């Protein structure tokens, strides 16, 4: 039995979306990610989605609820180094960029803690780095692709990969605690995977993560954090939680959130009035 209580957080107003494999001009959106025409492909994708169209390779038609969004909120390290603001000018919706793209879930994570009368830290395990935020502190810890390679390993290597991922998370938490001379009293933790109702992660680029429900409780315990409340959610949901309380989007009813990093995460905000 694990000492850390893990709760899978859901927002009534936020629905995760899988549009990374949206078909755009003969290729899926993710395949455009590192191409010279990525910005124009992203614009085309947004136009398709706003108009109520869209077909994904894995899930078929995009839900009708996405159509006609009032604003798009873009965050993540993938928004840096591109001329996205110019490329997306003139869209039939408002375009808002996250204030701290790499730490796009920071605002939402701390808002979530405050809403529950908790204080603590916010962690976002991306596909290329772990982003960790404590009050007044921010860290990025790159993924070691040698020790934590992408999926596709044999079943016999899964146990070792699960252990290494726990060690990676725990080591970085300990480093941050040593630097700050503090320990988090609670944690919000985002994972790059679809999550079941009990917090069990689905498929991701981390070998062995799929189906590993005790990953985060084990990692926190390994870091010396026992009895710490743990709130877990999908990384795109965490980004959307930041958009939900962004004053620039106050009063906007429907917002499409895109978290652009190594991959493309998405969520839809539909405010409950």
Taking only the tens of pLDDT, the chain with its 273 residues reads: 446 789 999 999 999 999 999 999 999 999 998 899 999 999 999 999 999 999 999 989 999 999 999 999 999 988 887 788 888 999 999 999 998 899 999 999 999 999 999 999 999 999 999 999 999 999 999 999 989 988 765 556 888 899 999 999 999 999 999 999 999 999 999 999 999 999 999 988 898 899 999 999 999 999 999 999 999 999 999 999 999 999 999 989 999 999 998 889 999 999 976
Name the pairing type of β-strands 121-125 and 60-61: unpaired
- Residues 6+ positions from 197 with CB-CB distance below 8 Å: 8
Q: Report long-range pairs for 170-176 (Cβ below 8 Å, ≥24 apart).
A: 170/219, 170/220, 170/222, 170/223, 171/223, 172/130, 172/132, 172/139, 172/141, 173/123, 173/132, 173/219, 173/220, 173/223, 173/225, 174/223, 174/224, 175/139, 175/141, 176/121, 176/132, 176/134, 176/137, 176/139
pLDDT at position 165, please? 96
CA-based angle 76:17:229, to the nearest 5?
A: 70
Instruction: At 123, give phi and psi (nearest 5°).
Output: -125, 140
pLDDT at position 150, please? 82
DSSP 8-class letter at 63: P
Q: At what angle do helices 106-115 and 235-244 cross, to 10 degrees?
A: 80
CA-based angle 61:62:65, to the nearest 5?
A: 130
Distance in angstroms (rounded) separating the CA atoms of residues 74 and 125: 18
Instruction: Categorise residue 238: left if φ over 0, alpha if ψ from -120 to 50, beta otherwise.
Output: alpha
- CA distances to 5, 70, 199 from 226, rounded to whole Å, are 9, 43, 18
Sequence ranges of the domains in the chain: 6-10+103-235, 14-101+243-270
In CATH, what number does 6-10+103-235 get? 3.30.420.40
Distance in angstroms (rounded) separating the CA atoms of residues 183 and 193: 26
Is the distance from CB of 48 to CB of 22 less than 8 angstroms?
yes
Compute the radius of gyration of the chain from its Cα atoms.
Answer: 18
Task: Please report, to the nearest 10 degrees, the dihedral formed by the alpha carbons of residues 265, 268, 269, 273 taken in order.
Answer: -160
pLDDT at position 149, please? 87
Is the distance from CB of 166 to CB of 219 less than 8 angstroms?
yes
Distance in angstroms (rounded) separating the CA atoms of residues 267 and 123: 19
């Amino acid at each position: 039995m694990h000492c850390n209580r893990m709760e899978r957080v859901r927002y009534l107003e936020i629905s995760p979306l899988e549009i990374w494999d949206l078909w755009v001009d003969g290729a899926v959106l993710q395949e455009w990610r590192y191409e010279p025409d990525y910005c124009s492909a992203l614009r085309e994708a947004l136009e398709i989605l706003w108009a109520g169209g869209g077909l994904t390779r894995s899930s078929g038609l995009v839900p009708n609820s996405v159509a006609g969004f009032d604003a798009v909120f873009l965050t993540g390290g993938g928004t840096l180094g591109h001329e996205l603001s110019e490329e997306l000018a003139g869209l039939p919706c408002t375009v808002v960029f996250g204030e701290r793209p790499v730490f796009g879930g920071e605002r939402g994570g701390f808002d979530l803690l405050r809403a529950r009368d908790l204080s603590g830290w916010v962690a976002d395990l991306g596909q290329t780095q772990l982003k960790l935020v404590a009050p007044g502190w921010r860290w990025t810890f790159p993924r070691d692709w040698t020790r934590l390679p992408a999926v596709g390993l044999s079943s016999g290597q899964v146990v070792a990969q699960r252990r290494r991922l726990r060690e990676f998370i725990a080591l970085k938490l300990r480093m941050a605690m040593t630097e700050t001379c503090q320990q988090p009293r609670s944690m919000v933790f985002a994972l790059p995977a679809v999550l079941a109702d009990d917090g069990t992660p689905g498929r991701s680029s981390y070998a062995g993560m799929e189906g590993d429900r005790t990953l985060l409780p084990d990692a926190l315990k390994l870091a010396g954090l026992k009895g710490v409340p743990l709130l877990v959610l999908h990384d795109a949901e965490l980004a959307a939680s930041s958009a939900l309380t962004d004053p620039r989007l106050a009063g906007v009813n429907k917002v499409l959130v895109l978290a652009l990093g190594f991959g493309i995460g998405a969520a839809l905000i539909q405010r409950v009035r």
